[in-house]
Structure 1
Amino acid sequence: MTLKYRLLLIVFVLMCLLLLTHGLLHYKAWRSDSVEEIESGTRMALLLLPEDMPLNAGDGRSPMLDSMLERVQRMKEVRHVRIDVLDVAGRVMASSDTRSPLVWPESGELSGTTDGTVRMKPWRLNGEIAGFYRVSPMPSDELLEKWQGFKHLSYLTVAYSVLLGLLLLWAICRALEPVHALRTALRDIEGGRLDARLPQFRLPELAELSASFNRMANSLAEVSRERSALLRKLMVMEEQTRRAIARDLHDELSTYMVAMQPHVALLSAACQREPAMTRYRVSTDALADHLAQLLGKVRVQLESLHPVEIDALGLYNALRQLVEQRSAQAPRQMELVLNLEGESADASPTVEASAYRIVQEAVTNAFKHSDCSRLLIRVTADEADGERTLKLDIWDNGSAHCISTGVAGLGVLGMRERALALGGVCVAGPAPGGGWRITVRLPFARNEQEAAA
């Protein structure tokens, strides 16, 4: 999980805790307030109800009682309490709430108060008790009112939390922009793009970090340029020395050994014809065998020093010959496919030799370190942005590779060093679709002086 999402998760957890705490605190306050409000409403209703009502002397009725009963029946808007007017037998004479069924206590229970907050108050006619007022709490109204208020407040809290979360997300993204820029620059440098730089940040600490990173990148680019130039000169000198040694071996040593072969053959024939020379026949045969082995070793040395096929046939024809030879020498049933595009005649001898050796090493690694059955080699000479380049794309369908770093072979490290020294790029690793892929780009250099510059 990235840092941004971790911070957002922490903010989300804190918001949930805030909502939970808000709910608990509101519930406690709601409970105590509801009880107090219902109690106060009950006491207020009892105080407002008349306790003693007179009777008319003529007909024995009480207009005040009739008015009170009518008024009680119209008191449906009184919140939180229900007022019932009972006679002494417990019958309901009037009630402020008829929405729910009424279950009344027996007549023997009408004295005093009932459980909880239900309160009783007697009413009198000319001083004699004629019935009771019963004031009962109606918590449903209070609960509905509190619940509506809680919902509105919760909606407001959730909206505030969402808004705050969005603001925090924006702030976190803005705060992490330098981290993203630094990560991108480091990935560019890791990929070989040494021109990657960080922008100037506003905060002093980040500005100092940006300046330090850019100084490091400049130093690294300068060291890389110096190293590449040195490697390029060393490679040019190495190829020149290899060609000079190969030319001397071919023109001098090989010429003398080839010239010795007819004389050795003449001695062998004489030993076979002349009885007096029969005893030298073993020596002449051994001399002919040693001379043939020496010539074979010289040819191997010539090929390792400098592929003569490049000078004689050109890079593309030399690669065709190499693929034909290696196809015949494959350690298992394999298909080697070579695709050549463009023209490589303008490439410098160093670039041609490096390309030939990279292909040679890639084929060797596929034979030794892979279980592939198909090897595709594509060599393309094209021009992009005014610069001619030689591109190598080598892919096999093997399941695994072991990077070769032996002294006798180039190995992946040697391929990268050669490409870097010539101002190119070499990328080797598992292919996205499976197998192993080596991609090399080498810029043309028209002469040795240009390559060594």
Structure 2
Amino acid sequence: MRLVLQLVARLLVVVALCLGAATIWATIDAYRSVDRATAASAERVSEALEALYWRELLLRSSRAREHLVPVPEWRTIETMKLISPGICVQFEPAGAFENPLCGQSKGIGKAPPAWFAASVQTFLGNHAAVARSISTRNVTAGTVSAIADPDAAISLAWQHIVDNIHVALLMALAIAFFASLAIAHTLAPAQQIVAALQRMAHGQYRTSLPRFRSMELAMIGQAVSHLGERLAQATEERAVLTRRLLEIRSDERRALARELHDEFGQNLSAILAFASTIEATAGREQAKSDVAQDARMISQATRRIMACLRGTLNRLRHPPAEELGLEACLVDLVDSWRSQHATQPMIQLDLQGDLADVRGTVAATAYRVAQECLTNSLRHSAAREIVLRIERRTGAENALLIRVEDDGGGDAAKVAQSAGFGLTGIRERVAALGGSLSIARARRGVSVAATIPLAA
């Protein structure tokens, strides 16, 4: 999952938790607000009755004080206005057949669900009654007792919760939406960092990144830029070391070729001359003697060794492509393979572009790639047709493409994973020049393609 979606999902979980906590808090506060309304109603009614009590005391001093209140006037509209909705007030001691005076409870809210009423009563309990004395100076004046109607109290709490939850839900949705936009905007530079890493994976190590506003992303971008610089430097150093290694190896090959030519070649030539003399002498005296037969066997073995030595010397020496040019050497290479394999496979040489000025290390590397690929196709596959294509690409690319494709039905994956010295050698040569080597499945066999920058 994308990081933006993960952060948005976590934000929604946090918002949901906060919304749940706000719901619980609103439930408790709404339920306790009924207790506050009960106490406030008792206080207001007791103050109003206290005023009535003192008025009756002053106006009707001949009456006994215990008969001053309650007076009939206290159950009036003005007193009803002092009682909060859903609260009932009772004067103590109550008169005969006297019902509590209750505030208006109709239309204070919709009926709550049964589960809400049961949950509130289970966890928060019932509301307690509140009593207030009419007169603190005369305790015999009576008291006012206020209590909440349970059904009305739960309806009020439910209506309070619904009103608050609507506002909280709208705020939660707004917070989630705008926070999601802010998160997406903040993490937008991450796509540029990922694109830079992908370019580095394809060899473009020196990748510039803009300066990000976020400190963390700026640190990541700076680390990626430093990593690219180090990778580019390490790649350049490796290419230099590889070129130096190839030069040392080429010098050693030339020295080995000289030693083989000077020592083995001369000795084999002497052995061949001695064997020819023995064969000629024995042939004049006794044509079918054992000595003549042994001499002929020595001559044949010596010729085979000399032929093998010449082939080895040809492979050890530097290809003539460095001096003669790539095109002439490739034509000579293909002609030599055709002469050795007169029937099959058929080798096609396709040269595209101007190859006349391709010389030096690039020409030698291209020649070695073509030579190794042709050798592998001829030795390790049952190919009937091999196509060697050399293409010079101009323009911005400015590179030399070498492609060898056969129809031998080989497994490209196994060839690519091969650790043989031949493929390893051409990989190192191509990499030393800043090129690339790829092995892929062809239509009926294996295709090996190498790209060498001509700027090398």
Using the size of structure 1 for normalisation, the TM-score is 0.57
Match of 1:154 among 169, 193, 199: 169
SS of residue paired to 1:424: coil
Structure 2 vs 1, CA of residues 6 and 381 (structure 1 numbering), >3 Å: closer, same or farther? same
Cα separation, 2, equivalents of 1:342 and 1:440: 16
Structure 2 vs 1, CA of residues 306 and 429 (structure 1 numbering), >3 Å: closer, same or farther? same
State whether structure 2 residue 329 is matched by structure 1 residue 318.
Answer: no
Shift of 1:277: 8.0
SS of residue paired to 2:289: helix
Using the size of structure 2 for normalisation, the TM-score is 0.57
State whether structure 2 residue 419 is matched by structure 1 residue 411.
Answer: no
State whether structure 2 residue 441 is matched by structure 1 residue 441.
Answer: no
Show CA shifts across 1:125-179 (max 9, x none): xxxxxxxxxx9664546633541332123212331243234334434546x58xx
Cα separation, 1, equivalents of 2:169 and 2:215: 41
| Matched residue, 1:21 | 21
Equivalences for residues 190-339 of structure 1 within 5 A? 190-197=201-208, 221=232, 224-225=235-236, 228-229=239-240, 231-232=242-243, 235=246, 268=279, 271-272=282-283, 274-275=285-286, 278-306=289-317, 313-315=328-330, 318=333
SS of residue paired to 1:170: helix
Whether the 8 Å CA contact 1:315–1:344 is kept in 2: the answer is no
Shift of 1:297: 1.3
Cα separation, 2, equivalents of 1:148 and 1:208: 47
SS of residue paired to 2:22: helix
Whether the 8 Å CA contact 2:275–2:295 is kept in 1: the answer is yes
SS of residue paired to 2:179: helix
Cα separation, 1, equivalents of 2:453 and 2:185: 45
Show CA shifts across 1:236-262 (max 9, x none): 676587579769988998799789979
Cα separation, 2, equivalents of 1:190 and 1:82: 79
| Matched residue, 1:389 | 399
Whether the 8 Å CA contact 1:264–1:287 is kept in 2: the answer is yes
Show CA shifts across 1:204-262 (max 9, x none): 89878877876776566456545534644664676587579769988998799789979
Cα separation, 2, equivalents of 1:208 and 1:317: 57
Cα separation, 1, equivalents of 2:382 and 2:262: 41
Whether the 8 Å CA contact 1:371–1:399 is kept in 2: the answer is no
SS of residue paired to 1:410: helix
Whether the 8 Å CA contact 2:434–2:452 is kept in 1: the answer is yes
Show CA shifts across 1:359-404 (max 9, x none): 454567789999999998654222123x742113567654544634
Cα separation, 1, equivalents of 2:382 and 2:170: 65
Shift of 1:20: 2.0
| Matched residue, 2:369 | 358
Whether the 8 Å CA contact 1:236–1:350 is kept in 2: the answer is no
| Matched residue, 2:435 | 425
1:15 alignment partner AA:
V
Whether the 8 Å CA contact 2:282–2:289 is kept in 1: the answer is yes
SS of residue paired to 1:442: strand
Cα separation, 2, equivalents of 1:194 and 1:202: 23
| Alignment: residue pair count | 390
SS of residue paired to 2:394: strand
| Matched residue, 2:179 | 164
Structure 2 vs 1, CA of residues 323 and 190 (structure 1 numbering), >3 Å: closer, same or farther? farther
Whether the 8 Å CA contact 1:430–1:436 is kept in 2: the answer is yes
1:384 alignment partner AA:
G
Structure 2 vs 1, CA of residues 37 and 97 (structure 1 numbering), >3 Å: closer, same or farther? closer
Cα separation, 2, equivalents of 1:5 and 1:416: 43
Whether the 8 Å CA contact 1:82–1:96 is kept in 2: the answer is no
SS of residue paired to 1:392: strand
Moved more, 436-445 or 368-377: 368-377
Structure 2 vs 1, CA of residues 394 and 259 (structure 1 numbering), >3 Å: closer, same or farther? same
Whether the 8 Å CA contact 2:265–2:306 is kept in 1: the answer is yes
SS of residue paired to 2:391: strand
Moved more, 184-193 or 349-358: 184-193
SS of residue paired to 1:314: helix
Structure 2 vs 1, CA of residues 358 and 27 (structure 1 numbering), >3 Å: closer, same or farther? farther
Structure 2 vs 1, CA of residues 253 and 151 (structure 1 numbering), >3 Å: closer, same or farther? same
2:427 alignment partner AA:
R
User: % of aligned pairs identical?
Assistant: 21
Shift of 1:305: 1.9
Structure 2 vs 1, CA of residues 351 and 146 (structure 1 numbering), >3 Å: closer, same or farther? closer
**Ranges in structure 2 where 5+ consecutive residues have no aligned partner:** 49-71, 90-95, 98-102, 111-125, 130-147
Whether the 8 Å CA contact 1:80–1:142 is kept in 2: the answer is no
| Matched residue, 1:52 | none
| Matched residue, 1:30 | 30
Structure 2 vs 1, CA of residues 337 and 196 (structure 1 numbering), >3 Å: closer, same or farther? farther
Cα separation, 2, equivalents of 1:326 and 1:29: 98
Structure 2 vs 1, CA of residues 150 and 187 (structure 1 numbering), >3 Å: closer, same or farther? closer
Shift of 1:425: 1.6
Shift of 1:441: 1.6
Shift of 1:301: 0.2
Equivalences for residues 122-137 of structure 1 within 5 A? none
Shift of 1:263: 8.6
Whether the 8 Å CA contact 1:41–1:80 is kept in 2: the answer is no
Structure 2 vs 1, CA of residues 156 and 319 (structure 1 numbering), >3 Å: closer, same or farther? farther
Moved more, 285-294 or 218-227: 218-227
Cα separation, 2, equivalents of 1:82 and 1:336: 110
Cα separation, 2, equivalents of 1:350 and 1:43: 106
Moved more, 276-285 or 319-328: 319-328
